[in-house]
């Protein structure tokens, strides 16, 4: 259970604080799977409302398009080649938006030729946000 909580944070301090708070709040004398599940769900809601919506809506449309593609891949690591179809095979065009998202710390490069979302549950948020607003 502890490994699951630690892995879910992905190094994001706000997620660490939020998940930790809800684990402490939901537990009485012990932590079990139900406490972990409740804490993660509550933390996701907080992250969505208090951080992710602002982060997602304040980037440009093209930045959001790149984030959407990463989220739609449903993979931890998404190969750059996956984006080329979406960006008309213009690698230079893609690299501008990739660099901006790296600077904003919304994505990271886990290895050469791949990108990943940097924030925990961010792919889930993007799907949820688009469904909530009925966006394509």
- Structural domain boundaries, residue 68: 60-132
Question: Does residue 51 sit in the same domain as residue 108?
Answer: no
User: What number is the average pLDDT over the span 13-39?
Assistant: 89
Within its chain, how far is the Cα of 104 from the centroid? 13
Return the pLDDT at 57. 95
What's the domain count of the chain?
2
Question: Does residue 109 sit in the same domain as residue 124?
Answer: yes
Question: Does residue 66 sit in the same domain as residue 46?
Answer: no
User: What number is the average pLDDT over the span 7-27?
Assistant: 88
Residue-averaged pLDDT of the chain: 89
Helix axes 13-26, 2-9, angle to 10 degrees: 150
Question: Does residue 37 sit in the same domain as residue 66?
Answer: no
Question: Does residue 14 sit in the same domain as residue 66?
Answer: no
Q: Dump pLDDT digits (tens) for 74-91.
A: 899 999 888 877 777 677
Taking alpha carbons only, the member of 56, 36, 59 closest to residue 123 is 56
Return the pLDDT at 9. 78
Question: Does residue 52 sit in the same domain as residue 65?
Answer: no
Q: Dump pLDDT digits (tens) for 22-34.
A: 999 888 888 888 9
For residues 57 and 34, give the distance between their C-alpha atoms in angstroms, rounded to a whole number: 33
Among 14, 29, 56, give the residue marking a domain's end: 56
Question: Does residue 48 sit in the same domain as residue 84?
Answer: no
Question: Does residue 28 sit in the same domain as residue 52?
Answer: yes
User: What number is the average pLDDT over the span 57-77?
Assistant: 92
């Amino acid at each position: 259970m502890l490994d699951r909580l630690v892995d879910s944070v992905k190094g994001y301090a706000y997620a660490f604080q939020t998940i930790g708070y809800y684990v402490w709040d939901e537990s009485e004398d012990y932590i079990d799977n139900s406490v972990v599940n409740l804490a993660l769900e509550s933390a996701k809601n907080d992250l969505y409302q208090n951080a992710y919506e602002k982060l997602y809506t304040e980037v440009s449309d093209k930045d959001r398009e790149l984030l959407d593609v990463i989220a739609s891949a449903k993979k931890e690591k998404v190969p750059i080649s996956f984006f080329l179809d979406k960006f008309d095979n213009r690698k230079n065009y893609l690299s501008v938006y990739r660099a901006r998202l790296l600077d904003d710390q919304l994505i990271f490069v886990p290895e050469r030729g791949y990108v990943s979302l940097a924030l925990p549950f961010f792919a889930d948020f993007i799907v949820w946000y688009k469904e909530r607003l009925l966006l394509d």
